[in-house]
Amino acid sequence: MGLGVINDIGLNLFEIKQRHISNISDPLIANDLGKIHDQAAAAFNQLAPDKTLTLAFDAILPPNAEQLYQQIFADLIASPNFTRVNGF
């Protein structure tokens, strides 16, 4: 369930996700992260070149989900305009 999208005063974009996936199978995690990736990529592609997209998960991703995240989000991770908060 997404908690929402927030723009800061500099028009940087923050996407906040509420996820508790410690007891979910890897295929379901990959499917969920794939959907989040597609949303993030669409938002990222609309950002001005000097703006950032921050994806924030409220709960730290467990190791298996972190590995899937690294694979699925590799294209966005490579950009200095993409950041992630892994638990807050």
Per-residue pLDDT tens over the stretch 15-63: 788 877 878 899 999 999 999 999 999 999 989 999 999 999 988 999 9
Domain assignments of the chain as residue spans, ordered by start: 28-45+53-88
Contacts of 53 (CB under 8 A, 6+ apart): 12, 13, 14, 15, 40, 43, 44, 47, 76, 81, 82, 83
CA distances from 9 to 37, 55, 85 (A): 24, 17, 19
Q: What is the pLDDT of residue 7?
A: 76
pLDDT bracket for residue 4 (50, 70, 90): low
Indicate the pTM of the whole model. Answer: 0.86
Torsion of CA 80, 72, 35, 52, to 10 degrees: 0
